[in-house]
Structure 1
Amino acid sequence: MTASTHWLATGAAQSVLERGGNAFDAAVAAGFVLHIVEPHLNGAGGDMVALVAPASRRPEVVVGQGPAPAGASADHFAGQGLDHVPGAGALAAAVPGAVEAWLWMLEEHGSWEVADVLAYALHYAETGHEAGRQLCGVISTMASHFRDHWPTSADLWLRDGAAPEPGQVVTNHAYARTLRRLLEHAVGQTREHRVAAVGEAWRTGFVAEEVSSFVRTPHRHSSGTDHAGVIGAEDFARFSITTEEPVALPFRGRTVLKSSFWGQGPVLLQTLAILDHLDDDQVDPSTATGAHCVIEALKLAMADRDAYYGDGHDPAVLAQLLSPQYAAERARLIGDTASLELRPGTVEGLVPYRPPFELAAESSTVVGAGEPTVRPTGETRGDTCHVDVVDRWGNMVSATPSGGWLQSSPAVPSLGFALGTRLQMTWLDPSSPSALRPGTRPRTTLSPTMLLDRDGVATAALGTPGGDQQDQWQLLYLLRVLVGGYSPQEAIDAPMFHTTSITGSFWPRTWAPGGVVVEDRIGEDVIEGLRARGHVVTVSGGWSLGRLSTVTREPGTGRLGAAANSRGAQGYAAGR
């Protein structure tokens, strides 16, 4: 079974499974296809976080989030006249981690040759694919910026000076040449050696050198000023993929797995721990009472994220944040009305960081900046990507690739992709737990999820695009499935909502006190019930929020399932 945010990625992964490949081969094939078919949502210059569960082995987190380059210091930014990390431009680039993470997964857990896995992406890059409406819309929005400031992006993405039309066949021959040049290094005595050689060529060869050379030319950033990037070939060479044990929380007969708090994954676990202290009717997202309690719990967990989460911090802090005692204390803060404050909890020995922010306003939007996700008004600008795979042997993957989208920074012309801007999620204030420091990872929003049964066997892989909304939308899914008894597809299709009463992770770091965005299908009684409790409700279109997908494996029977999002008419699930 396969489910992803684009039907061509799902088709590629399912083709691999049908031809005898395993879940890891299939996921990697889909991942590289996503670089081609959703370049406005992810790219080779971006990042990827995955949860992998080889059959009969313990799951692990694949950390494809690269760190800040050696030259990316707060002092350097201050010397450039900046008081924040820009939301667009190569100065905000972390070391790309997506390609190496996919190749690591293939080397360690796959069974196919790297050339066979990349054949799908090469086909779409060279032969072409029909451009979707959303892709064309993003390129159209960026067209004048490309022409005026990023000519290499204009050359790559514009056709006769204009954005492609929906349905027009588009190619990316530059990226195809990059993949073929990498494949020239696929030599060695074993399959694993050949995959590793391609990864080594990425880290220490022409890709790193050409990126390093290109970013030295100053170019326009979201600050409205021109700057050179600081990432160098040596930053590529120093980075390597690591894995770690997932953070786990038992909830309603399942164990929920997430990455640690160098990302936002524990937000979902914290919120579940808080809600576990409430009655079932208080956690039903389809009622005004349930929606209110869910929103308030999310705001409490998100406040802790900003106060305490960051790379390299004491794991004992996370243990306290997830403890039943702490969760009970937080649950008691949920009152009858909406909180309009940021309320981080108290952790022994630490002073909670209170981040600066701007009050949310549409006027703060700058072309190309931030993440292509959902605006506070509910208007969809795009998203990230996601792919889930389970195979006949029980191997399972949940992967969320993002960053390096075409609107993030100028395209490197010889390579056919742009760098990501994940450093915009760091602060230049050294007292922040997610302060910008060379060699440390920015606190990513990429947040895949996996569920285990009582015997520790993986039963579901799921995830969604959406930046700060990723764990919010996944929370609603889990409550509906694990508490409400919904089927996976019913839970994905059910009306979604999220709070904007949090400090945004992406530039310009906005906060909307009491803000909630809901799909109108949730019903007038819920909408008015939330407003009566003091929430500032923005009503969005009936099928506008949430991009979830999932694959499942029933305990005992081993029966497989998959479900995908219909919003945007791109997500697709397939299997047999």
Structure 2
Amino acid sequence: MSFTPPASFTSRPTLQGTFGMAASTHWLATASAQAVLERGGNAFDAATAGAFVLHVVEPHLNGPGGDLVGIFATAEAPGTPVVLMGQGPAPAGATIEHFRGEGLDLVPGAGGLAAAIPGAVDAWLTLLRDHGTWELADVLGFAIGYARDGHPQLPQVAATIGRVAALFAEHWPSSAALWMPEGVVPAAGTLVCNPAYAAVLEALIAAGEGAGDRAARIDAARREWSHGLVAREASAFLATPHRHSSGTDHAGVITPEDFASFSAGYETPVTADFRGHTIAKAGAWTQGPALLQTLRILDGYADDELDPSTEGGAHVVLEAIKLALADRDAYYGDADVPLDALLADGYARQRRAQITPAASTEWRPGQLPGRTPFAPRLREDDGTDADLSAVGEPTVAASGQTRGDTCHIDVVDRWGNIIAVTPSGGWLQSSPTIPALGFCLGTRLQMTWLDAAAPSALRPGLRPRTTLTPTLVLKDGRAVIAMGTPGGDQQDQWQVPALLRMLVGGYTPQQAIDAPGFHSTARIDSFWPRTWQPAGAVVEDRLGDEVIAGLERRGHVVARAGVWSLGRLSAVGIDRERGVLWAAANPRGAQGYAAGR
């Protein structure tokens, strides 16, 4: 092995079996998904059931008013990865002119004006209809039970509500009513219920009663979501001006017609080869191709130069990521993105040559023939971002501290169906709770620019460039790994070292997930207020004093984030040579678990 040997300690084993495996960011979602497998459902039934449970038990990390990106391969076509597209676009009224007219120069990070059309629920129902086998009532039964009968509140949920308690009490009374009954934040472990959301799910089931077949029943639920109570109530409620992260009050612009205009669907992924594997990601309306660009740059190094546990390896990974993310911000969006050029061999060599032994302090997008890279204003982080949670900004702080974030679920079944999905948005702290629904809408439009020159400019009908970015890995033309993580701008950054450790270093999946993590903050934050930190890097202390000191000598401005703090990766896979399934999950935060047999 050319990498530093993994630590002898691992937080848990890589699970192995032949029946089915699930992994997610919450044990109740994992257990629900595994229960579906045990009762004969396939990976798509299981992932959908687990995902609706995540809406209930991780409301600070995702919600039905949010969005998702998934990637999967079926048993029948293991060499054909497919992207599940659950990112809704900007509403018709969400124009640069309207936002500028509201006195804004950035899309707010919290408040209904920043809501894209919700895409997650329609995406899950579309996947279930086309690739699942279960009836909708059976799939949703787990989430309905936890919403109606209660589930133990996570410490992180209680902490999140506590951070925004003043906002709720003063400006968002509907959120206070749901999340702070009688004005008190329920303590961790308290059984909490959400009967309004349970009723929404039951209404989706009821909409399909009497329909001719299973697919028709699910389509009836989709129509109820996009044309019925949810569309009406959300649009009407957010039309009343309310407080946003800008400190000013605005009305939302989303309408029932916006809900009715959206349908989730499928797309062909973008791929790149790396060390005998093919890595598949969603397109440049996500940040996913930045991981591919990073690997294309790193592919020119020898194995021993890529060890993330060494000073040299961590340095080249950080520098390659910075270059790829600069290209993300200059070129990516729901637009004509020159991915062939950005992933070309010659371009990777050109970018690789820009990496020196010293940390770069510049924002350096690449130059492409006939293209002018978009150059957003560089707002340097002044160190106040830790206070942004006071207005409900839902992401991960530059320090590595979680203040909201996202969730993730992976499933593989005994037939060989495999899927990774990263749902997010609709955080309880995103915008005011819609009383009749028991949830709020998301704020994904904060990832757009109020500048028509940007490839990710705010434009009605176009998707914001999301950070959601699950990964599928193929070997010998067949899917072998499905993985992902929460983490905003860090999602691909945390996946790169894990992939290097598994595909180059010979680590087991759990060893790769447990290994010390790091990420760069020398990129333009996708979340309000869109700051950056030149040469900034955040590391786990377990990377070691010697390695950290070496990074600082090279010019990285290093922030230590604690011992177990960075990354919430989970993964499932298929060892096709042995006929074995496996799963691994993140121990950080004592919340994510894998299960299987």
Q: Where do 1:2-17 residues align within 5 Å?
A: 2-17=22-37
2:130 pairs with 1:108: yes
Match runs of 1:167-246 below 5 Å: 167-187=189-209, 188-246=211-269
Paired residue for 1:472? Answer: 493
Moved more, 64-73 or 140-149: 140-149
Please give the secondary structure, in 2, of the residue aligned with 1:568. Answer: coil
- Note if contact 2:400-2:561 (Cα within 8 Å) is conserved in structure 1: yes
How far 1:370 moved relative to its partner?
Answer: 7.1
One-letter identity of the residue aligned with 1:475 = V
The answer to whether the Cα contact below 8 Å between 2:381 and 2:533 also exists between their aligned partners in 1 is: yes
Which whole-Å CA distance do the structure 2 matches of 1:393 and 1:370 have between them?
A: 42
Q: Answer yes or no: is the 8 Å Cα contact 2:164–2:389 preserved in 1.
A: yes
Indicate the residue corresponding to 1:32 in structure 2: 52
What is the correspondence of 1:529-568 to structure 2 with a 5 Å cutoff?
A: 529-568=550-589
Structure 2 residue runs without a partner (length 5+): 1-20
Choose the corresponding residue for 1:461, options 475, 482, 485.
Answer: 482
Does the Cα contact within 8 Å between 1:359 and 1:512 map onto a contact in 2? yes
Aligned with residue 331 of structure 1, among 342, 345, 352: 352
Q: Superposed, which structure 2 residues align to 1:73-222 within 5 Å?
A: 73-187=95-209, 188-222=211-245
CA contact (8 A) 1:369 1:408 kept: no
TM-fit CA distance, 1:361: 2.7
Aligned to 1:298: 321
Which one-letter code corresponds to 1:458 in the other structure?
Answer: A
What TM-score do the two structures reach when normalised by structure 1?
A: 0.98
Partners of 1:369 and 1:63 in 2: CA distance: 29
Of residues 409, 416, 423, the one that matches 2:438 is 416
Structure 1 residue 124 displacement after superposition = 0.3
Q: Deviations over 1:131-179 (max 9, x none)?
A: 1110000011111110100000001111221111011110101101111
Q: Give 1:259 shift.
A: 0.2
Judging changes above 3 Å, is the alpha-carbon distance between structure 1 residues 368 and 94 closer, same or farther for their aligned structure 2 residues? farther
Offset of residue 356 of structure 1: 1.1
**Which residue of 397, 405, 426 maps to 1:375?**
397
In structure 2, C-alpha distance between the alignment counterparts of 1:135 and 1:286, rounded to whole Å: 33
**Structure 1 letter corresponding to 2:586:** N
Equivalent-residue separation in structure 2 for 1:290 and 1:196 (angstroms): 50
Amino acid at match of 2:321: L
Cα deviation digits, residues 456-496 of structure 1 (max 9, x gap): 21101000000000000000100000011000000000000
Match of 1:49 among 52, 64, 69: 69
Q: Is the contact between residue 453 and residue 555 of structure 1 (CA under 8 Å) also seen in structure 2? A: no
The equivalent position to 2:539 in structure 1, one of 513, 518, 523, is: 518
Q: Does the residue aligned with 2:183 lie in a helix, a strand or coil? A: coil
Query: Is the deviation greater in 3-12 or in 189-198?
Result: 189-198
- Alpha-carbon shift at residue 369 of structure 1 (Å): 5.1
Per-residue deviation, 1:373:
3.3
Alignment of 1:288-367 (within 5 A): 288-314=311-337, 317-364=338-385, 365-367=387-389
State the secondary structure of the residue aligned to 2:388: coil
Match of 1:406 in 2: 428
User: Residue type matched to 2:467 in 1?
Assistant: T
Amino acid in structure 1 at the alignment position of 2:561: S
Indicate the SS of the match to 1:569: coil
1:496 correspondence with 2:534: no
> Which residue identity is paired with 2:364?
R
Mapped to 2, the partners of 1:97 and 1:318 lie a distance apart of: 25
| CA distance in 2: counterparts of 1:287 and 1:378, whole angstroms | 20
Q: Helix, strand or coil for the counterpart of 2:395? A: coil
| Equivalences for residues 387-402 of structure 1 within 5 A | 387-402=409-424
Contact 2:116 2:443 in 1 (8 A): yes
State, as a whole percentage, how many aligned pairs show the same letter.
60
Question: 1:370 touches 1:508 (CA, 8 Å); kept in 2?
Answer: no
Match of 1:249 in 2: 272
Please give the alpha-carbon distance, in whole angstroms, between the structure 1 residues aligned to 2:231 and 2:390. Answer: 24
Q: How far 1:313 sits from its partner (Å)?
A: 1.2
Q: Distance in 2 between matches of 1:367 and 1:481?
A: 35
Q: Distance in 2 between matches of 1:373 and 1:542?
A: 20
Q: Which amino acid aligns with 1:224?
A: G
Q: Secondary structure at the match of 2:69?
A: strand
Aligned-partner SS, 1:174: helix
Give the aligned partner of residue 294 of structure 2. Answer: 271
| Residue among 431, 435, 447 paired with 2:469 | 447
Contact 1:519–1:540 (8 Å) recurs in 2? yes
The CA deviation string for residues 277-334 of structure 1, in whole angstroms up to 9 with x for no partner, is: 11112211000000000000000000000000010314xx101100111001100110
Superposition RMSD in Å: 1.0
Question: Which residue of the other structure, out of 31, 43, 48, is the alignment partner of 1:23?
Answer: 43
Question: How far apart, in 1, do the equivalents of 2:424 and 2:335 lie?
Answer: 22
Distance 1:197 1:73 in 2: 32
Equivalent residue, structure 1, for 2:13? none
Letter in 1 for 2:438: G
Q: Which residues of structure 1 form unaligned runs of 5+?
A: none
Q: 2:589 is paired with a residue of what secondary structure? A: helix
Instruction: Give the Å deviation of 1:367.
Output: 3.5
Q: Secondary structure at the match of 2:519?
A: strand
For the residues of structure 1 that align with 2:344 and 2:185, how far apart are their CA atoms? 51
User: In 1, Cα distance between the equivalents of 2:72 and 2:512?
Assistant: 23
Cα drift, residue 368 of structure 1: 5.5
Alignment partner of 1:452: what SS? strand
CA distance in 2, matches of 1:245, 1:55: 17
Q: How many residues align?
A: 573
CA distance in 2 between partners of 1:370 and 1:154 (Å): 13
Contact kept, 8 Å, 1:369 with 1:507, in 2: the verdict is no
